[in-house]
């Protein structure tokens, strides 16, 4: 049985549930369309920093933030379009703006659709009209995020990169086993290229690496301590996987991006949606418990 409930916490929160699978998903449209919790049985799968979430002046650490219209940061937070310089902060603005609920359904899944449209605030830093529609579908131990990027303009092409920044719970990262679809990564802290043998050095203060040459559209992580296998699948516009972890924090991030950092300046794998057109993409997360 699928259900959708609402509850007022710090913000109105939508709770999607699949009772037969003992699965729940919590979403907060007003705070960047953020997924704040994904629970299967007695397992919380996502890390979430409630104290940072309570302060709207701070960026969120936890849940599944949305990255748009850039992934990562720009040099000096600046890009140039038609001779004019604009400033965008890291990961763009979608994760900070209020989204609106447009549809919900409990037929064959618990699903909720959130929307975000360009406005005066976004046009001041990103001079392009857009309409985003994200549908979250919870069914069993699977979460699907269907993303539709529309360009309502009559004449201007919409350039962007997009991604998701999920924070997965991990109390002992040394017990994680990886199967990632690449043999090399770029260290985003120093710009060096390294071979990858499906292991990370979690004694480092910070790990921030980008896999930019992917051999498949899927990845998986097994947490030996918790007995949780996470499978991640993503449609073809996603061309980069970023792995990020901080020493002493009980999370790791495995992030599907459509383009590497600074794509708005370099054009590398930048998506272009033509006027009066749209593009649909999918990310699927699937969990298996021992």
Average pLDDT over residues 133-159: 97
Q: Which residues lie below 8 Å from residue 34, measured CB to CB, with a gap of 6+? A: 27, 28, 60, 63, 64, 65, 66, 95
Instruction: State how far the Cα of 190 lies from the Cα of 207, in Å rounded to an integer.
Output: 11
> What is the per-residue pLDDT for 149?
98
User: Could you write out the three-class secondary structure of the chain?
Assistant: CEEEEEEECCCEEEEEEEHHHCEEEEEECCCCCEEEEEEECCEECECECHHHHCCCCCCCCECECEEECCCCCCHHHEEEECCEEEECCCCECCCCCCCEEEEEECCCCEEEEEEEECCHHHHHHCCCCCEEEEEEEEECCEEEEEEEEEECCCCCCEEECCEECCEEECCCHHHEEEECCCCEEEECCCCCEEECCCCCCCCCCEEEEEECCCCCCEEEEEECCCCEEEEEEECCCCCEEEEEEECCCCEEEEEEECCCCCHHHHCCCCEEECCCEEEEEEEEEEEEEC
pLDDT, position 56:
80
The answer, yes or no, to whether residue 16 has pLDDT greater than 90, is yes
The mean of the pLDDT values for the chain is: 96
> Residue 9 pLDDT > 90, yes or no?
no
By percentage, how much of the chain surpasses pLDDT 70?
100
Residues 159-179 have a mean pLDDT of 97
- Write the pLDDT tens digit of every residue in 44-79: 999 999 988 888 888 889 999 999 999 999 999 999
Mean pLDDT of 231-242: 97
CB neighbours of residue 86 within 10 Å: 15
What is the structure's pLDDT at 54? 86
* Residue 48 to residue 39: CA distance in whole angstroms: 12
For the segment 98-114, the average pLDDT, to the nearest whole number, is: 97
The number of residues in the chain equals: 290
Q: What is the pLDDT of residues 188-202, one digit of tens each?
A: 999 999 999 999 999
- Half-sphere exposure of residue 6: CA atoms within 13 angstroms, side-chain side: 8
Instruction: Spell out the domains of the chain, with CATH numbers in brackets.
Output: 2-289 (2.70.98.10)
Rounded to 5 degrees, φ, ψ at 221 are: -135, 130
252 vs 10, residue with greater confidence? 252
How would you classify residue 191: left for phi > 0, otherwise alpha for psi between -120 and 50, otherwise beta?
left
What pLDDT score was predicted for residue 45? 98
pLDDT at 22: 97
Give the pLDDT score at 208.
98
Confidence of residue 142 (pLDDT cuts 50, 70, 90): very high
Q: What is the pLDDT at residue 58?
A: 82
Name the residue among 221, 216, 198, 205 with its Cα closest to residue 287: 221
CB 158 within 8 A of CB 129: yes
Residue 59 is predicted with a pLDDT of: 82
């Amino acid at each position: 049985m699928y259900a959708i409930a609402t509850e007022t916490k710090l913000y109105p929160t939508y709770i999607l549930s699949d009772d037969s699978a003992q699965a729940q998903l919590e979403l907060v449209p007003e705070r960047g369309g953020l997924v704040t919790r994904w629970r299967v049985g007695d397992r919380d799968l996502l890390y979430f920093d409630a104290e940072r979430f309570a302060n709207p002046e701070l960026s969120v650490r936890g849940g599944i933030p949305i990255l748009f219209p850039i992934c990562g940061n720009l040099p000096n937070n600046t890009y140039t379009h038609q001779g004019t310089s604009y400033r965008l902060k890291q990961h763009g603005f979608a994760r900070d703006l209020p989204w609106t609920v447009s549809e919900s359904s409990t037929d064959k899944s618990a699903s909720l659709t959130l929307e975000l449209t360009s406005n005066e605030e976004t046009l001041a830093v990103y001079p392009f009209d857009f309409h985003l529609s994200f549908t979250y579908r919870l069914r069993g131990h699977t979460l699907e995020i269907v993303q539709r990027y529309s360009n309502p303009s009559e004449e201007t092409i919409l350039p962007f990169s997009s991604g998701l920044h999920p924070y997965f719970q991990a109390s002992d990262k040394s017990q994680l086993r990886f199967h990632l679809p690449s043999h090399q990564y770029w260290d985003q802290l120093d710009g060096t290229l390294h071979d990858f043998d499906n292991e990370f050095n979690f004694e480092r203060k910070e790990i921030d690496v980008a896999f930019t040459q992917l051999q498949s559209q899927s990845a998986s992580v097994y947490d030996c301590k918790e007995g949780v296998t996470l499978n991640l699948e993503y449609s073809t516009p996603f061309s980069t996987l970023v792995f990020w972890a901080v020493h002493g924090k009980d999370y790791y991030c495995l992030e599907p991006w459509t383009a590497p950092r600074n794509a708005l300046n370099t054009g590398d794998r930048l998506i272009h949606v033509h006027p009066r057109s749209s593009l649909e993409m999918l990310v699927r997360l699937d969990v298996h418990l021992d």
